[in-house]
Amino acid sequence: MKSPIPDYLRQVVENARPADSGEVAGYIEVLAKADASKMAVALATVDGKMYSAGDDEVEFSIQSISKAFVYALAIQDTGLPQVLEKVGVEPSGDAFNKLSLQRSTNRPMNPMINAGAIATHSLIVGPNATAEQRVDRILKALSRLAGRQLRVDEAVYEAELKDANRNMGLGYMLKAAGIIDGDPQEAVRGYIRQCSINVNVRDLAMMASTLCNAGVHPVSGEGIIPHQSVRQVLSVMTTCGMYDAAGDWVSNIGIPAKSGVAGGIIGALPGQVGIAVFSPKLDERGNSVRGVIMCEKLSSDMGLHMMDISQVARATVRTSAMTITGCADQPHEYVQEVPIFDLRGAVRFAGAERLTRAIVHEFSSSDTEDPGSGRYTNARAVILSFRDAYSLSDVAQRIILENIRRLRAAGRNLVVVDPTRVLKLHGDHVPEDNALRVVRDLAEARRYIGGTGCRAVSYSDSW
Amino acid sequence: MKSPIPDYLRQVVENARPADSGEVAGYIEVLAKADASKMAVALATVDGKMYSAGDDEVEFSIQSISKAFVYALAIQDTGLPQVLEKVGVEPSGDAFNKLSLQRSTNRPMNPMINAGAIATHSLIVGPNATAEQRVDRILKALSRLAGRQLRVDEAVYEAELKDANRNMGLGYMLKAAGIIDGDPQEAVRGYIRQCSINVNVRDLAMMASTLCNAGVHPVSGEGIIPHQSVRQVLSVMTTCGMYDAAGDWVSNIGIPAKSGVAGGIIGALPGQVGIAVFSPKLDERGNSVRGVIMCEKLSSDMGLHMMDISQVARATVRTSAMTITGCADQPHEYVQEVPIFDLRGAVRFAGAERLTRAIVHEFSSSDTEDPGSGRYTNARAVILSFRDAYSLSDVAQRIILENIRRLRAAGRNLVVVDPTRVLKLHGDHVPEDNALRVVRDLAEARRYIGGTGCRAVSYSDSW
Amino acid sequence: MKSPIPDYLRQVVENARPADSGEVAGYIEVLAKADASKMAVALATVDGKMYSAGDDEVEFSIQSISKAFVYALAIQDTGLPQVLEKVGVEPSGDAFNKLSLQRSTNRPMNPMINAGAIATHSLIVGPNATAEQRVDRILKALSRLAGRQLRVDEAVYEAELKDANRNMGLGYMLKAAGIIDGDPQEAVRGYIRQCSINVNVRDLAMMASTLCNAGVHPVSGEGIIPHQSVRQVLSVMTTCGMYDAAGDWVSNIGIPAKSGVAGGIIGALPGQVGIAVFSPKLDERGNSVRGVIMCEKLSSDMGLHMMDISQVARATVRTSAMTITGCADQPHEYVQEVPIFDLRGAVRFAGAERLTRAIVHEFSSSDTEDPGSGRYTNARAVILSFRDAYSLSDVAQRIILENIRRLRAAGRNLVVVDPTRVLKLHGDHVPEDNALRVVRDLAEARRYIGGTGCRAVSYSDSW
Amino acid sequence: MKSPIPDYLRQVVENARPADSGEVAGYIEVLAKADASKMAVALATVDGKMYSAGDDEVEFSIQSISKAFVYALAIQDTGLPQVLEKVGVEPSGDAFNKLSLQRSTNRPMNPMINAGAIATHSLIVGPNATAEQRVDRILKALSRLAGRQLRVDEAVYEAELKDANRNMGLGYMLKAAGIIDGDPQEAVRGYIRQCSINVNVRDLAMMASTLCNAGVHPVSGEGIIPHQSVRQVLSVMTTCGMYDAAGDWVSNIGIPAKSGVAGGIIGALPGQVGIAVFSPKLDERGNSVRGVIMCEKLSSDMGLHMMDISQVARATVRTSAMTITGCADQPHEYVQEVPIFDLRGAVRFAGAERLTRAIVHEFSSSDTEDPGSGRYTNARAVILSFRDAYSLSDVAQRIILENIRRLRAAGRNLVVVDPTRVLKLHGDHVPEDNALRVVRDLAEARRYIGGTGCRAVSYSDSW
């Protein structure tokens, strides 16, 4: 059987093909000669599956899309606070090729405008590095992200260098403003060279997917970008990635993105999928006309807008019970009801809060200030299951441990089903002892609570 | 047993208390006389649970926080395209009390600056409505959101009206620019009155929580704000809610928010929790000093940053199998292995893609171009379970239906376990017939596939 | 015999007539209905002669031209320092209807943009005056300047009031900025009413001519605008009178000017002539198309550019001598040579310096460090003639008195011919005594030096 | 006898000495080490007399003062229209080191900001000239203006070149904007070198004086700057010479001026005197603190404000008559009254108009529409005297010739006393014949009218 997803991507391409407006970037001859009929789209999932359609092997220069990844590199090489001293994070409201320095700090407004990108580039390796050293570092990092060896398009580089007066101007201005420490000519040459690296949509989708996967490469499993940098890069792509249309892009498309003047656009949907599109003709803002249409289609079809409620993890709590009976070392009539609180999904505040509420509800009698069912007022043991929880945030961790402390203080035994140990007991000094036991599954829980000879019957919603 | 969450919130309050800098808004006497020692925080979950700490009953004027909700109302009263004609969605980069009209369209940059908020207010009810009519509409809506009858603080209103010259100036400018159709004095009076509505943090948290819950009130279950408006409001809060520090707020706090000059701030975490904080002293940007600290603490503790990967729903696919045997009308040795594909969570592209991959994997033999396990190459029936899927996006729907089509074309019977009918078969003209049956649970699936006399044994990871 | 000047002005009108581009101000109906074929020009000399051509009796509203005169009135009513606290003098670089407040002071940039003109208007009479009181004051002053009773065009006033939203906006903004003390509505209403005063080109030329004549009305001789205000008004007209084209206007036309949206323009050539032109169609800057052409023609033909060297007064010094002889009480051979230094024109530094040089030259012998002719080394008396000097600046006064002191210290008698007493002796405590005599003409000088019986023969350049 | 003017200048210096605020330009070490106690002032009259006081031999770098003269050179080398294509004439309202390009044309706003000055420099010699070639041209021109060989201060040049990042930035920006045609590095190096030329106040005063003298060097008499360029340079100095305080400077000081960061300021008073002051400490706008005070004192004392009415030439007309009698070939009782119209000063429109009025008045009888004295209704001859008129503008020329035509048409003989031929008859084809005779003095006029034997008696105001 064949997957329908490639067919879907072909539809996305064909849906955008009739949009023939816009112009190929004409400011340098090499770009102006691009074949305007080429179109491609690629998706890479956070677990490494790649789908693509159209001219997915056609190479083009990465241009401004490199800014996002070089920003991540700069944070890695220099440290976030040091980067923030040199480049801000605010949308500029101006065109991408304006100087746009912040009044009090002299910083370029953000790393996605040219001035900010040149400043960011100058932070790679070190202030006195040559253009070649910096581009070598960048080329290696982008190649690891793409999963193959990339190379600089020398024709593009030479052509853009000839037309680099405005960027040279920005470079000297940044030097004068104390933002660039080394030679501005080296910084600008390196920046132009970084923009001249050739990629195809599959490369870009894989690079974007690494951002979506918290900086870990989906295929190689290598941690390439630190988690903190990923958050920073995605935040800046959200507010500044699409030039002076940040608000418009956020409300319409709603995904962190970055476009380049050769016709590429990437989108990064955290935790899900990296996307890349390509088509050379640009609108008056410098974004690929068909590329934007493809992104709109993908965002709308896929429900990717980050403000769509359905996107957000809804950790759930299921309350059930295990009835333990027929134990060899207990009277025949022995029946013990053990409540089970089962957390599922990515548990953050909301999930921990729901767990708390469920516990309070089941253990509070109906005549209290905050009345509950009181069903398990007398339960001696409680099972918390994290089998289906794939993460616990800090605050969730703390709230859950506090619940455990309070249950123990009330004299109950706790059994935690946590085969992958998402709950960190030792960080908060909760001793694992007779009153708190971590087990791998419910059978083990049953054995621990009732003894080896008992049977357990679940009343809950299993099949 | 007591919930630890109120204790946590008390810590959030006390953690911020030492920050004594900033100044109470001094431009009108009523605000200047506010008791600067008051502090409060409240959380309201999307299922209606409220937590709060500090001076949670102290009332203060809602001020600019009203802008977010009145924007939602304007979209409802006038339609999003009409609202967008009058008010943009871009961060202005300027102070909140600047005119900031967009060059080509004359629109105020966004609805969170005063000019945009006055224009937005004028769209409530209709162009020739009086201030009283508009505020009546707004007061009713905000009261429904808060879950109690709110009222205008007449002293604040009178005082602000006396000092309304700048806003009156904006009103007349907007009239001159063709943005306001009716009387600018009425629009400004109404806007000031809207800002003078009194609330406490519990009211605000409940209002924010309704935004987080896709516009449905968490307690009353009433749909107050249409889903489309919610997305728009949250998008604009993301890029423009915290004045000229959009980028800074997005990268540091990472939650849609809005602040008011009386010291309140709301944050809305889609799908999770609405938060509200209060403390009268403001920083030089006009945001509550302690309020910002409380928000930072909540965001950091709770892992609420929207670019944090862990926040995003990861729909999962579990592959298992049902072994049907011992059927009355079959030979004794009869054993049928039926693969079960179980989708969980909010299924969007990534989830549907994973399902596709799992199906392709199980049905493709190892010698094909895209080699699989080939385990179920000969399976006559397939079970798809949506019991734990709580939503399907459009693209997921389409991909899954395409999978169903292809499985049917290959001669297999499909049984869909979908008690709440999240899969819409009829929209895409997939006939429900003998080859495609929708059932409520696995037992029914078993009966359908094997007949009433069979038994089924699951090999999968149930307990 | 007939004067050729009216013929010349008719040529100026006809030369501009073919320029048919531009549009009548369309924002209010009354202006939009103006007869676009009307054209006129008028010149008023500083001694009260009026010339005009074209539709010189057609009335139109004065509009922004009033700003120059109301600025003068505000200085008179409030004092220059107080006016400067409220309104600046810098070109704004922005359109005339922008707020354009200076960053540190909140002042509108200058009194020629609308915001500055409204602020200026509010300084007339007093902060709490009504629109009517202020316009009454302005109407009286403008009528005195025009030399006839002017009146408000009520139709224009009513129409502009209906369309006054932008100006109302400016008014409230100014109130908010602390620039306007009273009611902004009254200020704006008054400002609009001031703009609705009807004039014709002859009125305007006479008003401009008063500016050229140091504030003294050329016909009535009445001092209407204090000298200090005139200088301030002309300075501001130079840098801000023609909106955002100050530099262009100064380099091309080079005369202080002010235009109005009804099609009038005035130019004021200090010491020479006030000009006024009228034609309703405006260019995109809001200046009368044909009006600008007429001004260019007048400036170019008349050599009126203020940076043209020939325009500047060149006070001259003529050195001659009086030979006194045939005196009754002297020996027959008695001949006394008395040098005469005759200053002509407006004597400022350059003239006084030339006088000094001439004196030093004539009294120094050829063998000194700064060698001179030494012709009058032995002269006992010296005549200084101010008969043809029509003014002495302060520094000229001081330099000349210092020369007198030094001549007296050298033992020479001074006779000053100064029938109109332009030289102020007493201000600097130079005693008028036997050694310093002020006389009315040379005959009296001769009598004083030689005695009544002498004869004098001039060797100098008389005919 | 000694001139009091040097004493006056010493007072100007001492009056400013107590103002000890401000800072020496600290951005490069060579300037920072300047001796802040040095002060000087110099005046150069348009006829070549130089006065100075203070440290008038101390040299300092010319810095931005060079901009005014290089602008004049660029007009000469390239033509005014070509210069205007590249550099505007509007005040920028921004700091001098901002790019400040005009929106539609990309031109720097004016030649007095750095961007405009670099663009202007690049127009010297030609687009592909080297820095050395351009500076050679500039150095020669400035040396001719100063009247002595100037030289570049190599230490200042080297130091400024090291700190030239901002100007290099501007250079590349200008290249990118299409304003500079050649190598931006050469243009910036040349500009910096031009700023490093050393001068003292006497050099600067002489250079300014050449501007005041219509471009003709006051001492050498050499025409260095074309008249048209002088007007343009003075206009731009008026509106843009003192950075962002154009309006303030025009209304307070009222003289075209330019300042430099080494502490020099020049002022140019057309037709009168060039001034230069020097003191290294600068105010926050970059103007010499004591230099400004000295300029204020000079302007105020000397009545140099260009809007002061008294500054303007007031050509005058004196009407008298010559009575011719006692002619040998006439009857004994023969008496002929010949009116004499005597023009004095720089005659432009106002003077010609006054002449016209006088003629019309004397020849019109009292019963006409425009009634006159009618005194000379029957005069057969008329004398026009230009003996004391030192210039006639075009329009004056035309009006006077038109008067001559009309008098001739009325049958009167014209005798023009015009020893220096200021009246150009032939340009307008007015034939010199029996009815129109040009003579050198009144005696010759008398002989021509009455014959050689007559006597003439003047009734007019001679002594």
Q: Could you tell me the two tokens for D152?
A: 């570049």
Residues of D in Cβ contact (< 8 Å) with A174: 169
Q: How many CA atoms lie within 13 A of B371 on its CB side?
A: 2
Query: Nearest C-alpha of chain A: how many angstroms from B35?
Result: 31
Distance CA C88, CA B444 (A): 86
pLDDT category at C1 given cuts 50, 70, 90 is low
Q: Are residues B291 and B412 in the same domain?
A: no
Q: What chain C residue is nearest to D45 in terms of C-alpha separation?
A: C350
**Structure confidence by residue, pLDDT tens digits, B174-187:** 999 999 999 999 99
Say what the ipTM of the complex is. Answer: 0.83
Q: Mark whether B and D touch (3+ CB pairs within 8 Å).
A: no
Q: Is residue D387 part of a domain?
A: yes
Q: How many CA atoms lie within 13 A of D96 on its CB side?
A: 24
Cβ separation D272–C349 shorter than 8 A: yes
> How many other C-beta atoms can be found within 10 angstroms of the C-beta atom of residue A185?
15
pLDDT value at C198 more than 90: yes
pLDDT value, residue D459: 42
pLDDT value at D314 more than 70: no
pLDDT value at D462 more than 60: no
Q: Is residue D311 part of a domain?
A: no
Coil vs helix vs strand at A87: coil
Cβ separation A247–B402 shorter than 8 A: no
Highest mean pLDDT among C74-78, C371-375, D237-241: C74-78
pLDDT value, residue D178: 94
Q: Is residue C463 part of a domain?
A: no
By the 10 Å C-beta count (0-12 exposed, 13-18 middle, 19+ buried), D56 is classed as buried
Q: Work out the average pLDDT over B375-388.
A: 86
Phi-psi domain of A313 (left: phi exceeds 0; alpha: psi -120 through 50; beta: other): beta
pLDDT category at A459 given cuts 50, 70, 90 is very low
**Which chains are adjacent to chain B, needing at least 3 Cβ pairs under 8 Å?**
A, C
pLDDT value at C19 more than 80: yes
Last residue of a domain, which of D306, D339, D360? D306
pLDDT category at C427 given cuts 50, 70, 90 is low
Length of chain D: 463
Q: Return the minimum-mean-pLDDT range out of A305-314, B5-14, D377-386.
A: A305-314
Of the candidates A305, A261, A301, the one whose C-alpha atom is nearest the C-alpha of residue A283 is: A261
Coil vs helix vs strand at C22: coil
Query: Nearest C-alpha of chain C: how many angstroms from B240?
Result: 24
Q: Which residues of A touch D (CB under 8 A)?
A: 99, 165-166, 168-176, 184
Of all residues in chain A, the percent with pLDDT exceeding 90 is 48
By the 10 Å C-beta count (0-12 exposed, 13-18 middle, 19+ buried), D441 is classed as middle
pLDDT value at A73 more than 80: yes
Q: Are residues B340 and B201 in the same domain?
A: no
Q: Are residues C299 and C370 in the same domain?
A: no
pLDDT value, residue C262: 95
pLDDT value at B462 more than 50: no
Q: Is residue D463 part of a domain?
A: no
E strands present in C363-423: 381-392, 413-417
Residues of A in Cβ contact (< 8 Å) with D168: 172, 184
**Structure confidence by residue, pLDDT tens digits, A38-64:** 999 999 988 888 999 999 999 999 999
Query: Nearest C-alpha of chain A: how many angstroms from B68?
Result: 14
Residues of A in Cβ contact (< 8 Å) with D99: 99
Q: Are residues D22 and D147 in the same domain?
A: yes
Q: Are residues B446 and B371 in the same domain?
A: yes
Q: Return the minimum-mean-pLDDT range out of A26-30, B265-269, B451-455, C159-163.
A: B451-455
DSSP class per residue in C344-356? EEEE-HHHHHHHH
Cβ separation C398–D8 shorter than 8 A: yes
Q: Are residues B302 and B320 in the same domain?
A: no
Q: Is residue B202 part of a domain?
A: yes
Q: Are residues D328 and D300 in the same domain?
A: no
**Structure confidence by residue, pLDDT tens digits, A319-343:** 888 888 777 777 777 778 889 998 8
Q: Could you tell me the two tokens for A86?
A: 């040199």
What is the CATH number for D338?
Answer: 3.30.750.24
Cβ separation A169–D166 shorter than 8 A: no
Query: Nearest C-alpha of chain D: how many angstroms from C358?
Result: 10
pLDDT value at C463 more than 60: no
pLDDT value at D120 more than 80: yes
The range of the structural domain enclosing residue B361 comes to 316-458
Q: Could you tell me the two tokens for C274?
A: 């006030």
Beta bridge partners of A223: A216
Compare CB distances from D166 to A165, A168, A176 and report the shortest one's residue.
Answer: A176
CB A249 within 8 A of CB A179: no
Average pLDDT, chain A: 87
pLDDT value, residue B97: 73
Task: Please write down the HEC assignment for all residues of C271-291.
Answer: CCEEEEEECCEECCCCCEHHH
pLDDT value, residue B429: 63
Distance CA B282, CA A13 (A): 51
Q: Work out the average pLDDT over D420-427.
A: 79
Highest mean pLDDT among A437-446, B213-222, B422-431, C321-330: B213-222
- Pick C6 or A165 by higher pLDDT: A165
Cβ separation D353–C49 shorter than 8 A: yes
Number of helices followed by number of strands (H, E) in chain D: 16, 15
pLDDT value at D76 more than 50: yes
Of all residues in chain D, the percent with pLDDT exceeding 90 is 48
Cβ separation A169–D165 shorter than 8 A: no
Residues of D in Cβ contact (< 8 Å) with C90: 91, 93, 244-248
pLDDT value, residue A373: 77
Q: Are residues C349 and C219 in the same domain?
A: no
CB C415 within 8 A of CB C372: no
pLDDT value at A178 more than 70: yes
* Domains of chain C: total: 2
Q: Are residues A294 and A338 in the same domain?
A: no
Cβ separation C169–B166 shorter than 8 A: no
Of the candidates C82, C230, C257, the one whose C-alpha atom is nearest the C-alpha of residue C145 is: C230
pLDDT category at A461 given cuts 50, 70, 90 is very low
Coil vs helix vs strand at A109: coil
Backbone angles phi, psi at A77, to 5 degrees: -75, -30
pLDDT value at D449 more than 90: no
Query: Nearest C-alpha of chain A: how many angstroms from B115?
Result: 17
pLDDT value at C98 more than 50: yes
Rounding to the nearest 10 degrees, give the CA dihedral for residues D263, D267, D273, D276.
0
pLDDT value, residue B461: 35
Q: What chain A residue is nearest to B377 in terms of C-alpha separation?
A: A1
pLDDT value, residue A463: 27
pLDDT value, residue C256: 92
Coil vs helix vs strand at D146: helix
What is the CATH number for A284?
Answer: 3.40.710.10
Residue type, D245: A
Q: Work out the average pLDDT over D58-63.
A: 97
**Structure confidence by residue, pLDDT tens digits, C148-164:** 999 999 999 999 999 99
**Structure confidence by residue, pLDDT tens digits, B254-313:** 889 999 999 999 999 887 789 999 999 999 888 999 999 999 998 887 777 777 765 454
E strands present in B211-367: 257-259, 264-269, 273-278, 281-282, 316-325, 335-347
Coil vs helix vs strand at A336: strand
pLDDT category at D164 given cuts 50, 70, 90 is very high
Residue type, B287: N
pLDDT value, residue D380: 86
Compare CB distances from B360 to A3, A302, A441 and report the shortest one's residue.
Answer: A3
Q: Are residues A399 and A257 in the same domain?
A: no
Cβ separation D169–A173 shorter than 8 A: yes
pLDDT category at B455 given cuts 50, 70, 90 is confident
Task: Specify the pairing of strand C381-392 against strand C335-347.
Answer: parallel
Q: What chain D residue is nearest to C391 in terms of C-alpha separation?
A: D310
pLDDT category at D461 given cuts 50, 70, 90 is very low
Backbone angles phi, psi at C20, to 5 degrees: -105, 10
Residues of B in Cβ contact (< 8 Å) with C170: 169, 173
pLDDT value at B459 more than 60: no
Cβ separation D239–C458 shorter than 8 A: no
Compare CB distances from D4 to C306, C399, C462 and report the shortest one's residue.
Answer: C399
Query: Nearest C-alpha of chain A: how many angstroms from B422?
Result: 13
Q: Are residues A263 and A141 in the same domain?
A: yes
Cβ separation D173–A165 shorter than 8 A: yes
| Cβ pairs bridging B and C (under 8 Å) | 46
Q: Mark whether C and B touch (3+ CB pairs within 8 Å).
A: yes
Q: Is residue A463 part of a domain?
A: no
pLDDT value, residue A391: 74
Rounding to the nearest 10 degrees, give the CA dihedral for residues D436, D442, D444, D448.
50
Q: Work out the average pLDDT over D161-186.
A: 94
Average pLDDT, chain C: 87
Integer-rounded Cα radius of gyration of chain C = 28
Q: Work out the average pLDDT over C358-372.
A: 78
Residues of B in Cβ contact (< 8 Å) with A250: 89, 235, 238-239
Q: Could you tell me the two tokens for C305?
A: 């550019």
Alpha-carbon dihedral sign for residues D396, D398, D401, D405: negative
Compare CB distances from D270 to C250, C269, C307 and report the shortest one's residue.
Answer: C307
> How many other C-beta atoms can be found within 10 angstroms of the C-beta atom of residue B380?
12
pLDDT value, residue D115: 94
Distance CA C221, CA D366 (A): 24
Residues of D in Cβ contact (< 8 Å) with C312: 269-272, 311-313, 346
Q: Work out the average pLDDT over C80-100.
A: 84
Last residue of a domain, which of B308, B340, B370? B308
**Structure confidence by residue, pLDDT tens digits, C229-254:** 999 999 999 988 877 677 888 888 88
Q: Work out the average pLDDT over D332-354.
A: 81
pLDDT value, residue B427: 62
Q: Is residue B463 part of a domain?
A: no
Residues 6+ apart with CB under 8 A from B255: B267, B268, B269, B295, B299, B304, B305, B306
**Structure confidence by residue, pLDDT tens digits, B325-375:** 777 777 777 778 889 998 877 787 778 888 888 888 888 877 766 677 778
Q: CA–CA distance from C146 to each of C50, C208, C259, D392 (Å)?
A: 12, 9, 17, 31
CB B266 within 8 A of CB B258: yes
Q: What chain A residue is nearest to B253 in terms of C-alpha separation?
A: A235
Integer-rounded Cα radius of gyration of chain A = 28
| Cβ pairs bridging A and B (under 8 Å) | 292
CB D312 within 8 A of CB D448: no
Matching residue, tokens 């002017």: C150
**Structure confidence by residue, pLDDT tens digits, B104-125:** 778 998 999 999 999 999 999 9
Compare CB distances from B247 to A239, A313, A348 and report the shortest one's residue.
Answer: A239
Cβ separation D169–A170 shorter than 8 A: yes
Q: CA–CA distance from D196 to each of D60, D66, D152, D154, D192 (Å)?
A: 9, 9, 5, 7, 6
pLDDT value, residue A447: 83
Q: Is residue D94 part of a domain?
A: yes
**Structure confidence by residue, pLDDT tens digits, C251-284:** 888 889 999 999 999 999 887 789 999 999 999 8
**Structure confidence by residue, pLDDT tens digits, A214-227:** 899 999 989 999 98
Query: Nearest C-alpha of chain B: how many angstroms from C162?
Result: 11
Q: What chain A residue is nearest to B215 in terms of C-alpha separation?
A: A309
pLDDT value, residue A128: 87
Length of chain C: 463
pLDDT value at D460 more than 50: no
Residues of A in Cβ contact (< 8 Å) with D170: 169
Q: Could you tell me the two tokens for B413?
A: 């019977």
pTM: 0.84
Q: Are residues C259 and C399 in the same domain?
A: no
Last residue of a domain, which of A307, A330, A360? A307
pLDDT category at C316 given cuts 50, 70, 90 is confident
